[in-house]
Every structure is written in structure tokens, then in C-alpha cells.
Structure 1
Amino acid sequence: MAFAASATSGAVRARPAQRGVTLIGLLFWAIIIACVALVGLKVLPTLNEYFTIQRAVNKVAKEGGSTVPEIRAAFDRQKDIEYSISSISGKDLEITKENEKVVVKFAYDKELELIQPVFLLIKYRGHSQ
């Protein structure tokens, strides 16, 4: 009986610690997610262009021709078909022959404006397989 009386008479129960996200924490994570989304939305089209250029270069290296002007002309025709290629043209390609195989190399820079005056510079490089 003494035990029951002491439990109800004045014992204060400890509250469990509250857990959750504060308003400042929520704003912090919202800003971080917004910045990552901004960069992602700006970079994804340039990645798509890079992979399109890579496919075009591979196709031209295999089927484009045997001389440098023929390969450049074939790339320009491929560029006209693929509407997403705007960063390079046939004259920007470096065309060599290694082990009796045509190798087409390309390199270009893409500058993206994130928020004035902050820019992101991406350097793309690739070659045919």
C-alpha cells in the first residue's frame, strides 16, 4: 500500500524527449534541396547533349567515311538530324587513325548560369569507341 500511495502522491513522470524537425531545420533542408534541384535541372540537358554527341561520334566513326572531310560532313548531317546538338560541329572534331581504325575525338566546354553572377563550367571530352 505504501508503494501505491507514493506512486500517485507526487511522483513526476519524466517526459520523453520530443523529436522532430524545427522550422529552421526545415528551411535549411528546403534550401539545400532547392539548390540541388536547380543544379540538376540545369545540368541534365547538357548531359543529354553529351550522350547524343557520343552516339553520333560512334556512328560517324563506324559508318561516316574514310577521309576527314567525309567524316566531318557525316557528323554535320547527324547533327542536323539530332536537334539537341548545338555545342560542336564537324570542324570541332579531331579525327585520327589508330590501328587502322578511325578515332573521332571531341572536347567542348559548357558554361551554365546558375544564379547571377554564379556560373558552372563543365568540360566535356569524349572519343569514339
Structure 2
Amino acid sequence: MRQVNFFVIFVICLALVLFGIENTEPAVIHLVKGVDLQAPLSIELILAMGLGAVLAWVFSVWTRLQRLLETGQEVRVRDERIQALEEDVERYKAEIEQQRLLPAAKSVASETQTTDAELVTQ
């Protein structure tokens, strides 16, 4: 992929150089009323493209930053939910363990009662 990117950038730069060689006539840019700028057409267009590239990069960084912040919030919410679910699992395990112990205690008590009843009858 890097080779493709390098090739694309190389072709664009080559096209800009060839464009600059062919367009050396001065052109006037009217920025605001009373403010004019005169420079070769190729320089003006290359500066305009450079400004566009910088603005595209700034927008890309801004979008990436927003996505990173959103992802961070989602991760925090997900971590909190995982923590709550883990606490629920531990609580359920404790309840199941208590329920296992209760019937065992009842069966020991009933065995003791039947043993006592057998002793009484003898």
C-alpha cells in the first residue's frame, strides 16, 4: 500500500511541476476590496491546493479525535457494564452455594430425626 501511496504522490508532484513550468504568467487575486495579490498562476494554484490539503488534514485529525473520544466513552460504559455483570455473577454464585447447603442441612436433620425415631422404637 505504501508503494501505491508513493506512486500517487509522485504523479501529483510531477503534474504540479509540469503545470508550474507551463503557467508562469502573473495573475491577480482580489482577496478583499482594495487588497490585491499578484503572483504567477501556477504558484497561486499550488498554494490553493496546499491550503486545501492542510484543511483536509485538519478535518481528518478533528474527526479522528472525535471518534477517539466517542470510543473512550463507549469503553468506559462497557467496562462499567462488565463490572456490574461480574458482580451479579458473583452474587448468583453465592446464592446457588447457599441453596446447595440448605438442602444438605435439611437432609442431615431428617436423617437425625429418623435415627432418633428408630432408637425410640427399639
Q: RCO greater where, 1 or 2, for CA within 8 Å and sep 6 or more?
A: 1
- Report the TM-score, using the length of structure 1 for normalisation: 0.30
Q: Which has the higher helix share?
A: 2
Q: Which has the higher strand share?
A: 1
